[in-house]
Structure formats: structure tokens, C-alpha cells
Amino acid sequence: MASKSVLTPQSEDFPRWYQDVVAKAEMADNGPVRGTMVIRPYGYAIWERIQREIDDRIKLAGAQNAYFPLFIPESYLSREAEHVEGFSPELAVVTHAGGEELAEPIVVRPTSETVIGEFMAKWIQSYRDLPLLLNQWANVVRWELRPRLFLRSSEFLWQEGHTAHASYEDAQAYANKIHLEVYNDFLNEVLAVPTFLGIKPPRERFAGAINTLTCEGMMRDGKALQLATSHELGQNFARAFEIYYQSEEGQAELCYTTSWGSSTRLVGGLIMAHGDDQGLLVPPRLAPTQVVVIAVRDEPEVNEACERLQAQLIAQGVRSTLDRSRGSFGRRVTDWEIKGVPLRVEVGPRDLNEGVVSVTRRDNGEKLTWPLAGVAQEATKLLATIQRDLYARALEWRDVNTLDVPSVVEAIDVAQTGFAKLSWDLVGASEEAQMNNEAVTVRCLQRADGSIPESELENDLLCIVAKSY
RNA sequence: CGGGAAGUAGCGCAGCUUGGUUAGCGCGCCUGGUUUGGGACCAGGAGGCCGCGGGUUCGAAUCCCGCCUUCCCGACCA
């Protein structure tokens, strides 16, 4: 029964474990160019589920999808000083095309504030055109010095929202809405990852933003992962791209813009937030396959029973895969465990004689026996339970590994294995440098009650510091 | 981009120090058979520009130089 583990244990070498999971669960491969990534069907199926859930929420928040070009004139980037300064080190620039050197180099988009700003300026005439709420699903390129599959690749897939508003308050409220109703809701309810919500300290802000909201998650090794961010851009980009509108009073007014994004990094977050030594562990609400039905024997009665069962599951709205492959039973089981499918239903002659199926939970290994007739209903119920349990387990892990500390020195110590929470007043420029020397960074700022401050200048703020991906 | 390690079959590795016949092993893969309720077994088989380029040499997986890629630790970042 105790089979030799097919993955490097987390406790032995976490980064190695991560790579093993990515490879053995058939999620992704490295591309031929450094830092590029081939997303394999199973990894892409998970990404499609993420897309679907986030896209639904974005649309509920009122934004519409559009598509802007991959190529951006280099001159656009330079129009916003901080923006170009922040992004120029990681730009890929096209200098030749059509067999000739280009008059103006073309940048491969690292993000689309600039092109979209240009078109917002064109499309917005009156206050009646506001707010303008856009989103696009696209690939972007940021030349990375230290790539890692899903977490940091030179090309990655993401969603970037861009909005324009008539007032500062409107823009701020919308960035906040996306932060809570799109990202945090998705992360908590679907990805089953508890988050710390807060604002970034000035040095961690998006290049060109006046404020950045972040969702920070804790991975199984105690490191932090920034899962999604929403930026208030103030009037910085509106000024650079002349995004004006005519007010009710007939005055020309500058817009306030926001942008917000989440990427294929979420797949990396999924792996590291829930995975164990047996492999990936996908929360039921996210899982492309929620239930795998395994035909224990390749016999007509078994196959027919499996097909009927799967039809019932699908009719019940359960995403289900039927595994009728040959080969040893143990091997098939292990393969599905590595892929993290939440529930495994085994159907064999012995079960059929008794009119039951054998069920195993991926998250805790618990084995159950269900009457064949009630599988679809039971599965639906149990999937909901697993979803809750995964969140609870992640929340407990996070809370146990998040400690209040009274000093920067202790914060650095705690951040070796988890998160440290301390007074933001204790962190001046030299203290932040001291932490950064130890690879510890300020992940976010919060109020004492955990709520989100409007600015880093509020009194009595706390900061959460950690090592991060 | 700096410091370290490494690239030999799909994956994991040995061989390299001390250059010398047909470059090995485990897993996986293919064929046939026996199996099948937790990574099965037997027999047979396929699969290698030994990362790429150059050099030394009668002869290079092995020695030298350059480059590329991967991993770890930093700086940069979703």
C-alpha cells in the first residue's frame, strides 16, 4: 500500500517539489526560449476555469471585454515618466520587421495602460461616456531574469482591466470593487485561498500608480504570493494621454483611471497553496475534473455502469471524467492523485454486486462507500464540503504561520518560515533596506482591524512582511 | 544581471579524474502473453549529432575556449 513517492517531498526541497508537480501533473513545460512556457492541456484546462470564473465576475462588475494590439509604439511608454522607468528594464523591443530596420522601435506590450489610454482619449467625449470599463484577456511580455513556470515567465497570459472615471472617488471605489468582488471573491470562494488584503507601500507600487491594492496569499512553504492587484492611477495616465471629458457644466476635465490584473501566476498559486506530497490538490469549484470515475476492470457490466454513472454526474452538473484505461490500478489512481482531482469514484465487479461504489477524497484520503443510485447527489454535497475544508485548512495554515512581532529583527526571523505582522511605524527606509537584505519585503499595509487603508500615511497601520515569490 | 551547480534516450542517472572497440543502467515507451480493488510480471524490441559551435589530438561524452539552456541563492518583477 505504501508506495514509493513519485514526487520530491515538500519538506525535502519545496522548489523541486513544485517542478515535479508541474511536470508530473502535465501542467506545463519550458519553452525553447529562456523564460517561455508551454501550457499543457491539463494546465490550460485549469487556466480556462480560472478565466471563466474571473471573467464572469468582471462582467458582473460592469466591464466589457475588448482587445488591443500586442505591438505598442515605443514612444507611448515614454509618455508617463514613472511607467517607462519601471518597465524599461523588462521590455522586449522589435527593431526590425519586413526585412528592414524600423523607423520607430515597437515594444511588445508589458501591460496596456498606454495603448488603451490613447484610445480612451479618442472614445471619451462627455461625462455621459463615463465610466468607461474595459477588460482584455491577452498575453504580455516582461523579460524576466529569473523565470519559473507559471510564477514568473517572460511571456504570460493574463487579464488586464482598464477603466476611466469622472472623479477620484469613483475611480477609487471601482478599484476597490474589483479588488473585493472580483479578485478576493474568486480567491476565497473558488481558489479556496485566504488572503491578506491591503495596499502596497510606495516602493512596491505599480509604475505610474498612486495606489496599489493587493491580495496576498500564503503558500505551503510560508512564502507570500501576490495573487492579484488593482491600481488607482489617479490622473497620471489621463494627463499623459489627454483623456479629457466635458462635464455637465461644459468644462473640459481630466479623467481618473484604474487598472487591475491577474495572471497565469494564479495557477502557480493554486499548486503551492494546496498541494501536498501526493501532488496537486484542486478545489472542487475550480477543478476541470471534479470527479474521476475509474472502471476497475475492463468488463462490459463495469463499463456500462461507469457510463451510466458518469451521465448522471454530468446531468447533476458535476464535471466528471471517465477513466477506462488499462494498466495497473495503482498506477491509474496515482496519476489522478497527482492531478489533484477532488473525488475518485471506483467501480468494480465487487461494488456492482453490492450495488455500491468506492469513493476516495483526495484532500484527506478518506474512503467511503455510497449506494450506486445516490452518487451524483452525494458527490455534489461532498464536493461542497471539500471546498470548505480546503479553505479552512489553508486559513489555519496561514494563521498559525502569521505572527505579531514587536521589532524588525524579529520580523526578519519570523519571515524565514511565515508572515510577520508589525507596526508600520517601525519600518523606515533603513529598516526596509535591512529587511530587503534578507529577502524580506513588505507585502501589504493594513489597518489594525485588517481593513484596507486609503493611504500609507494613515496612523497606526500594520504591515505584513514575508519572503515572496 | 552577479555568485554557485548542472546539461548523456521521454524522465532520473552512471561513465569523464587517467581520451582508445558496438556509450550503459533504472523507470517509461512498443509487441506478445499472464495480470488488474494502491505505482504488476515474463519474454522480445525501438529509441542517443553525449546541449550547440569551435579547438587540441591519429582518435573526444571524456581535455581547452565560447555560447545556449535548466536549477539554487541574490538584485528586478504579475
Specify the CATH number for the domain of residue A78.
Answer: 3.30.930.10
The answer to whether residue A72 is domain-embedded is: yes
Q: Which residue stretches of chain A have pLDDT < 50?
A: 1-3
Q: How many domains does chain A contain in total?
A: 3
Same domain, A210 and A252: yes
8 Å CB contact between A14 and A285: no
Q: Which nucleotide's C1' is closest to A110 (Cα)?
A: B78
Same domain, A180 and A304: no
Same domain, A84 and A229: yes
Report if CB A338 to strand B is under 7 Å: yes
| DSSP 8-state secondary structure symbol assigned to residue A88 | G
Same domain, A393 and A409: no
Same domain, A194 and A209: yes
| pTM of structure | 0.96
| DSSP-H helix ranges across A236-359 | 236-241, 265-274, 300-315, 329-339, 349-354
The CB-based long-range contact list for A1-8 (8 Å cut-off, 24+ gap) reads: A3/A330, A3/A334, A5/A277, A5/A278, A6/A334, A6/A338, A7/A277, A7/A278, A7/A279, A7/A338
Burial (0-12, 13-18, 19+ Cβ within 10 Å), A390: buried
Q: Is A390 left (phi over 0), alpha (psi -120 to 50) or beta?
A: alpha
Q: What is the pLDDT of residue A1?
A: 30
**A420: containing domain:** 404-466
The one-letter code for the residue type at A212 is: T
**Count of CB atoms within 10 A of residue A278's CB?**
17
Same domain, A168 and A262: yes
Report if CB A152 to strand B is under 7 Å: yes
Total number of residues shown for chain A? 469
The residues, any chain, with a CB within 8 Å of residue A52's CB and separated by 6 or more, are: none
Query: From the CA of A328, how many Å to the C1' of B22?
Result: 36
**C-alpha A343, offset from chain centre:** 23
Cα–Cα dist A184/A50, whole Å: 13
Query: From the CA of A363, how many Å to the C1' of B36?
Result: 26
Q: Tell which of A370, A398, A426 closes a domain.
A: A398
Same domain, A379 and A456: no
The answer to whether residue A36 is domain-embedded is: yes
For residue A360, give the CATH number of its domain.
3.40.50.800
Average pLDDT, chain A: 94
Of A148, A139, A79, A81, the C-alpha closest to A110 is: A139
Cα–Cα dist A284/A281, whole Å: 9
Same domain, A112 and A245: yes
Q: What is the pLDDT of residue A188?
A: 98
Q: Tell which of A398, A424, A450 closes a domain.
A: A398
Is the ipTM beyond the 0.85 threshold?
yes
Name A residues 397-456 whose Cβ lies under 7 Å from strand B: 436-437, 439
Q: What is the pLDDT of residue A415?
A: 93
Query: Phi first, then psi: what are they for A132, rounded to 5°?
Result: -100, 115
The one-letter code for the residue type at A197 is: L
Same domain, A64 and A124: yes
The residues, any chain, with a CB within 8 Å of residue A304's CB and separated by 6 or more, are: none
Written as nine digits, the cell of A206 is 505599480
Convert the pLDDT of each residue in A205-242 to its tens digit: 999 999 999 999 999 999 999 999 999 999 999 999 99
Same domain, A430 and A323: no
Q: Which nucleotide's C1' is closest to A351 (Cα)?
A: B37
Q: What is the pLDDT of residue A5?
A: 67
Convert the pLDDT of each residue in A421-468 to its tens digit: 999 999 988 888 889 888 899 999 999 999 999 999 999 999 999 999
The answer to whether residue A329 is domain-embedded is: yes
Same domain, A81 and A205: yes
Q: What is the pLDDT of residue A404?
A: 96
Report if CB A57 to strand B is under 7 Å: no
Query: From the CA of A19, how many Å to the C1' of B71?
Result: 10
**Count of CB atoms within 10 A of residue A79's CB?**
19
